[in-house]
Amino acid sequence: MNMLHHFALRRMRPRLALVGLLCAFAVFATSCDSHRPVRIAVIPQTEGIIFWEALHTGTEEAANPAGVFVYWNAPTREDDVEAQIALVDRVVENNYQGLVLAPDQALSLIMPVRRALAHGIPTVIIGSPLPIPAGGNLSYILNDDEEGGRLAAQRAAVLLKGNGTVALLGINPDIAGVMIRARAFEQFTAQNYPGIHIVERRIGSFNAPHEQQVAEETLRAHPDLDAVVALMSTTTDGALHALDTTPGRHQVKVIGFDNANLSPFDQKSNLDCSIQQDVRAMGQQAVELIQARLRGQSVPATIRLHPRLFTRENMNSPEVRAMLPQDWTLGQWRWSSIQ
Amino acid sequence: MKFPRLPGRRIMIGLFSGLFLALGLLLLRAYLHSPSRGLPYRDSFAGGTSDEWKALGGTWELVNGLMRNDSDERGAKLLTGSPYWHNYSVEADIKLLGTSGDAGLIIRSSNEEEGVNDYSGYYTGVRTVDNMLVLGRAAHGWQEIMKPYPTPGGIRPFQWYHLKLLAYDCQIAAAVTTRSNAAPTVVAINDPGCAESGRVGLRSYSSGGVWRNVVVHPATHEDLVEMLQGVRAQADSEHRNQAIWDSEFLGSQPHSEEEKANAGFNANTQSIASLSLTSSARPTSATVRGVVILTAPMLFVQDSTGGVYIPQPTAPPLKVGDEVEVAGDVHPGDFSSTMEHATVRVLWARTPMPPLSVTASQASTGKFDAEFVEVQGHLTGKERSPDNTLILDLDEGAQSFRAIMNPGRSDYLFSKLKLDSSLRLRGICVVDSAFTHNLTPFVLLLRSNEDLEVLAGPPWWSTGHVIAIVVASLLLALVINFVYHRIAHWRLEAVLEERQRLAHEMHDTLAQSFAGIGFQLQAIRNRLPENNTGVLQQLDLARDLVRHSHEEARRSIATLRPESLESEDILTALDLCARRMVEGGTVQVVCERAGDQRPIPLRIADTLYRIGQEAVANAVRHAQSTILTIRLKYSQNLACLQIEDNGTGLEETNGLLGFGIRGMRRRAQSISADFHIESKPGQGTRVQITASLPPRITLTTWPKLFWRYLREYWNNARSSKYADSRSYRG
């Protein structure tokens, strides 16, 4: 009997071992899942300029207290749409619990974002909208670009005292927000400042040398130009460089958007102001929206944040400094200095 | 030896079958090549179908029951019919859409390709440029005769003409009439080296056109004469010399390519791309020039910088390819602009512009909004919209898009499209949410079904195909298995038949001879005197040898006869065999059966029977036993046969190698059976054969059987390590 029992045990041993392994794996997987932090992917338009680091700061500020892991990656250029699409698809494949996206292109990102939504990933589009209606897992935290256009028009009116010529550079249909800015600027100017004439409109790109060339052509074509409204950061840089290299045009003022420099007014005397979208607040609120969504709470479909006018006068105010990048002390690792 | 029965009959049946098959094929070929198959023919344009027509160039679409080609392409063709049609006529109502070309009918067409005159056949058409009824022959070149149309005003666009083209032998005649002028204008030729057969077609040259009431009739000589009477009447009235030209064409005259320049150009035009930079705050008027790329359901015009959408324009009838000047109010959009309240003027009639080949990713950026592009994609879905337009869903890389086709000519192609096919599409790229509904970045508006090309069908490894292949493989395996077993069964039956024949031969010759020799020896012995002791002893010895040989022969005959297996089960057959062997002796034969009796396949039954026979023979001959026990046990999937005697037993070393044991073991191996002998000197011998029986597989038992098979396999693998050395596995 003992021999039989022993023999039966010997025969059962591999099966028992297999069952034990399965149980251990199940327990391990369960415990891993229960302690796994929420992972949110944040994909700005680009990592190539420092402007978007404020978004990183904002997301980390909201994510760190909640123990949320932030995956941060972006194309090296704003016009590398395929790279951004690949990143969004990778986020879907890796089952992230949330996606924060500043789209590089209004149309091309429709299908990747729809795929993310189809996988049940709460998604927040920041900055500029996509032509997908909000609702369900899709929310928008947008820059109020109409207000940005109005701010630019008001600033131009102040600069030109209600009369003068303006060039509108950097019109880019790829970014819906830029088009909204341009139209708002034109309409507000036409309605309220009939003495201001837009004498030049030019398509913009994310190529700064090209933008500089466009600005130089504009300056040559309009010797009496009073101001340039540059609707994108590359256009702003291009216009300022063009003015630097064109002698005798110190009177031309530049009203820029989304300046990426920490001290933009130091060496650029032509720069009058910069109208900034608050990407830091966008990052904070986007992470909070996703967390609320993951908790099953209802979230607003669309939030619009007001842009801020940066001038030489308010550049060093605490409110403005708070919007600028970047706070490198934030992060997921809880270390401290040893010196 | 058997001979086939009635071979002559079989040969006759084969011959007649072949003959009928050949006759059938000939009849089928004759039907397919018939010069009148499918005649008379009448189009079904009014019914909204035109599946039988094939387009080569142009933008052929069914619109309100009319076949319409909106392009000014030179030599756009639409063909149908049999390539073997010989003597027939084709007629139709035709309306020209342009002022600088012609439109008409093709007859006896073959070797068609896309191109101006790239076909072999005859064409007649009405031409606006010189007001002519033209008739000519194309053979990748062109030669024509023409005749002025007598009506005042000549051939005019947007007016219906009735055109008839008839071919009888090598005489070709064409006639045109209008409602206002019922007397036909006829032109005819006699072409000795004519094209003898071919399809019919519709064709236009440097002008769009509309066709209706296309009818094809077989033609007779009387029909030709009737048409030519019109020619003669005209010839009489016009004092012309002859109506039929004996292949003396007027000479090779190329089609006119003169373009009517439209006076009054607007010098202040701008590029279409620059429209997007006009002010959105103030109403702005602009004038652009471009080529029409789509006319319905809406007008799109494109130049080298971009495209523009023109809703509800004030315009003459436009065709794809027309170069136009558009003046209107600009509404700049994000990617393209719209011109409202626009007036369109036709500058020149040109051929449609080629598409720009782009990827779906490039088209998704909106940079090609309102432009004519070519995109490739994989078909992921197709559906009809509520307004009956045809919608294709496509994927390419990370992007998805839609293509919209008009119903009508595209219906047939739409129904034939298979999901996962690779398609190449040409159409107007539109990113407006009115079309995309924000589901895809862009949609393509296809002009006609010629804008869709199937590059490759769905891959063969689709789910349905894989399932079909698996099922087919299983069926093939089953068939092969069935055939294999049938062949094995037939072979066994042949062996059994041969054995039976040998048994009969031995019975009729050898056994009878032994019996005769025995009788003769007995007769000799009876006549010999008793004192001849030496001879008598030799005769007795010879008689014993003959008797022994006779018994051996009988035994061999008994073992060779298979009838017993066919009529009885193994146990009964072995019992019968053993009783024959021990007949007249003192050995007692005992038969035992255990378990539920079930059928045993013939091959296994025969092997068990032969091994049993050998074991019984060994026991009877050598064992000197008094009891011979034959047992047959049935279990779930096993049959176990035991032959046991209480005789002298075998020496372990030598006995197990002789007495036919090798043969028994070899037979057991042939059916993968276990063969086992237990024997000790003075304690008898037991031979045991255990054979596996095929399981009874049903829908409910196969999982259980499969699991048992796995268990047994596992157990056998384990137990083989500890197998008894006395066990002899077959």
**pLDDT score, position B719:** 65
Give the structural domain span for B336. 273-349
Identify whether A31 is part of a domain.
no
Q: Which of B425, B456, B487 is the last residue of a domain?
A: B456
**pLDDT score, position B556:** 76
Cα–Cα distances in Å, from B383 out to A115, B391, B394, B617?
Answer: 21, 5, 12, 81
Q: Average pLDDT of each block of 10 consecutive residues along chain A (339 residues)?
A: 44 56 56 68 89 89 90 89 93 94 93 95 94 93 95 95 94 91 94 93 89 93 94 92 84 89 78 93 95 92 94 86 65 54
pLDDT tens digits, one per residue of B225-282: 888 876 555 544 444 333 333 333 333 333 343 344 444 555 578 889 888 888 877 7
CB neighbours (10 Å) of residue B273? Answer: 17
Q: 3-class SS at A196?
A: strand
**Is the distance from CB of B39 to CB of B85 less than 8 angstroms?**
yes
Identify whether B642 is part of a domain.
yes
Average confidence (pLDDT) over B549-554: 79
| Amino acid sitting at position A284 | Q
pLDDT tens digits, one per residue of B667-714: 899 888 999 888 888 888 999 999 988 776 666 777 777 787 788 778
CB neighbours (10 Å) of residue B569? Answer: 17
Identify whether B17 is part of a domain.
no
Q: Is the confidence at residue B627, as pLDDT, over 60?
A: yes
Do B73 and B194 lie in one domain? The reply is yes
Contact A183 B281 (CB under 8 A): yes
Residues of B in contact with A201 (CB under 8 A): 277-279
| Amino acid sitting at position A267 | Q
Identify whether A13 is part of a domain.
no
Average confidence (pLDDT) over B297-317: 89
Cα–Cα distances in Å, from B636 out to B602, B708, B729?
Answer: 18, 11, 20
Identify whether A321 is part of a domain.
no
Do B319 and B387 lie in one domain? The reply is no
CATH number of the domain encompassing residue B72: 2.60.120.560
Q: Give the count of domains, chain A.
A: 2
Per-residue tokens: B306: 């971009």
Buried b (16+ CB within 10 A) or exposed e, B209-240: bbbbebebbbbeeebbeebbebbeebbeeeee
Interface test with A, best of B272, B279, B337 (most A CBs within 10 A): B279
Do B76 and B184 lie in one domain? The reply is yes
Q: Which of B292, B323, B349 is the last residue of a domain?
A: B349
- Whether the CB of A106 is below 8 Å from some CB of chain B: the reply is yes
Q: 3-class SS at A183?
A: helix
Measured CA to CA, the distance from residue A298 to residue A134 in angstroms comes to 13
**Is the distance from CB of B202 to CB of B77 less than 8 angstroms?**
yes
Do B471 and B452 lie in one domain? The reply is no
- Whether the CB of A246 is below 8 Å from some CB of chain B: the reply is no
- Whether the CB of B660 is below 8 Å from some CB of chain A: the reply is no
Closest B-chain CA to A104: B365
* Interface ipTM > 0.85: no
| Amino acid sitting at position A286 | A
Closest B-chain CA to A203: B277
Contact A182 B280 (CB under 8 A): yes
**pLDDT score, position B263:** 46
| Strand A196-203 relative to strand A227-230, pairing | unpaired
**pLDDT score, position A326:** 58
Measured CA to CA, the distance from residue B143 to residue B253 in angstroms comes to 6
The pTM for the full model equals 0.63
Contact A82 B398 (CB under 8 A): yes
Do A152 and A57 lie in one domain? The reply is no
Helices (H) and strands (E) in chain A, counts: 10, 12
Say which residues have a Cβ less than 8 Å from residue B620's Cβ, sequence separation at least 6: B578, B581, B582, B585, B587, B628
DSSP per position, A30-88: HHHHHHPPPEEEEE-S-SSSGGGHHHHHHHHHHHHHHT-EEEE---SSTT-HHHHHHHH
Measured CA to CA, the distance from residue B121 to residue B77 in angstroms comes to 12
**pLDDT score, position B7:** 56
Do A182 and A164 lie in one domain? The reply is yes
Do B443 and B469 lie in one domain? The reply is no
Identify whether A178 is part of a domain.
yes
Do A171 and A131 lie in one domain? The reply is no
Identify whether B26 is part of a domain.
no
Closest in A107, A111, A171 to B431, CB measured: A107
Do B592 and B714 lie in one domain? The reply is yes
Contact B280 A186 (CB under 8 A): yes
Q: Is the confidence at residue B525, as pLDDT, over 90?
A: no
Identify whether A20 is part of a domain.
no
Give Cα B160 to chain centroid, integer Å: 45
Do B317 and B376 lie in one domain? The reply is no
Identify whether A176 is part of a domain.
yes
Interface test with A, best of B364, B378, B435 (most A CBs within 10 A): B364
**pLDDT score, position B147:** 73
Do A201 and A218 lie in one domain? The reply is yes
From A124-128, B167-171, B281-285, B342-346, the region with the lowest mean pLDDT: B281-285
In 3D, which of B486, B421, B409, B495 has the Cα closest to residue B449? B409
Do A97 and A152 lie in one domain? The reply is no
Q: Is the confidence at residue B85, as pLDDT, over 90?
A: yes
Measured CA to CA, the distance from residue A172 to residue A232 in angstroms comes to 8
- Whether the CB of B335 is below 8 Å from some CB of chain A: the reply is yes
Measured CA to CA, the distance from residue A161 to residue B144 in angstroms comes to 76
Q: Is A9 left (phi over 0), alpha (psi -120 to 50) or beta?
A: alpha
Q: 3-class SS at B85?
A: coil
Q: 3-class SS at A309?
A: strand
Do A134 and A164 lie in one domain? The reply is no
CATH number of the domain encompassing residue B408: 2.40.50.140
**pLDDT score, position B150:** 67
- Residue keyed to tokens 């880019």: A172
Residues across chain A = 339
Say which residues have a Cβ less than 8 Å from residue B660's Cβ, sequence separation at least 6: B614, B617, B618
Residue B161's H or E segment, with its range, is strand B160-168
Task: Please compute, for residue B136, the number of CA atoms within 13 A of its CA located in the half-sphere on the CB side.
Answer: 29
**Is the distance from CB of B212 to CB of B45 less than 8 angstroms?**
yes
Measured CA to CA, the distance from residue B554 to residue B395 in angstroms comes to 84
DSSP class of residue B625 equals -
- Whether the CB of B448 is below 8 Å from some CB of chain A: the reply is no
Peptide bond into B642 cis (omega under 30): no
Q: Is the confidence at residue B457, as pLDDT, over 80?
A: yes
Do A290 and A197 lie in one domain? The reply is no
Per-residue tokens: B496: 């059994």
**pLDDT score, position B394:** 95
**pLDDT score, position B727:** 37
The rounded percent of chain B whose pLDDT value lies above 90 is 28
Closest A-chain CA to B337: A173
Average confidence (pLDDT) over B370-397: 92
Cα–Cα distances in Å, from A143 out to A102, A281, B397?
Answer: 11, 10, 31
Angle (CA) B398-B404-B409 rounded to 5° is 135
Confidence of residue B726 (pLDDT cuts 50, 70, 90): very low
Average confidence (pLDDT) over B329-340: 90
Do A74 and A159 lie in one domain? The reply is no
In 3D, which of B363, B373, B314, B361 has the Cα closest to residue B339? B314
- Whether the CB of B567 is below 8 Å from some CB of chain A: the reply is no
Measured CA to CA, the distance from residue B161 to residue B148 in angstroms comes to 14
Do B471 and B582 lie in one domain? The reply is no
Do B450 and B376 lie in one domain? The reply is yes
Do A124 and A50 lie in one domain? The reply is yes
Contact A111 B441 (CB under 8 A): yes
Identify whether B490 is part of a domain.
yes
Do B552 and B484 lie in one domain? The reply is yes
Identify whether A22 is part of a domain.
no
Measured CA to CA, the distance from residue B722 to residue B730 in angstroms comes to 17
**Is the distance from CB of A320 to CB of A281 less than 8 angstroms?**
no
Q: Is B251 left (phi over 0), alpha (psi -120 to 50) or beta?
A: left
Cα–Cα distances in Å, from B553 out to B191, B503, B540, B560?
Answer: 96, 9, 20, 10
Per-residue tokens: A182: 């341009």
Confidence of residue B78 (pLDDT cuts 50, 70, 90): very high
Contact B398 A174 (CB under 8 A): no
Residues of B in contact with A192 (CB under 8 A): none
Q: 3-class SS at B224?
A: helix
Work out the minimum CA distance from B364 to partner chain A, whole angstroms. Answer: 5
Identify whether B27 is part of a domain.
no
The rounded percent of chain B whose pLDDT value lies above 70 is 87
DSSP per position, B306-319: EEEEE-S-B-S---
Contact A187 B361 (CB under 8 A): no
Q: What are phi and psi of B77, to 5 degrees?
A: -125, 150
Measured CA to CA, the distance from residue A255 to residue A156 in angstroms comes to 8
Cα–Cα distances in Å, from B21 out to A30, B27, B402?
Answer: 72, 10, 50
CATH number of the domain encompassing residue A161: 3.40.50.2300
Confidence of residue B4 (pLDDT cuts 50, 70, 90): very low
Closest in B277, B278, B398 to A111, CB measured: B398
Q: Which of B303, B320, B349 is the last residue of a domain?
A: B349
β-sheet with B132-139: strand ranges across? B54-56, B74-80, B199-205, B102-110, B120-127, B132-139, B142-148
Give the bridge partners for B540, in sequence order. Answer: none
Identify whether B31 is part of a domain.
no
Give the structural domain span for A139. 37-143+279-307
Measured CA to CA, the distance from residue A235 to residue A275 in angstroms comes to 13
Q: Is the confidence at residue B119, as pLDDT, over 60?
A: yes
Q: Give the count of domains, chain B.
A: 5
Residues of A in contact with B438 (CB under 8 A): 110, 131-133
Measured CA to CA, the distance from residue B630 to residue B593 in angstroms comes to 9
Identify whether B399 is part of a domain.
yes
Per-residue tokens: B279: 């002010």
Identify whether A223 is part of a domain.
yes
Do B282 and B394 lie in one domain? The reply is no
Q: Is the confidence at residue B724, as pLDDT, over 60?
A: no
Do A253 and A166 lie in one domain? The reply is yes
**Is the distance from CB of B390 to CB of B384 less than 8 angstroms?**
yes
Do A302 and A242 lie in one domain? The reply is no
Do A163 and A198 lie in one domain? The reply is yes
Do B285 and B230 lie in one domain? The reply is no
- Whether the CB of B717 is below 8 Å from some CB of chain A: the reply is no
Q: Is B86 left (phi over 0), alpha (psi -120 to 50) or beta?
A: alpha
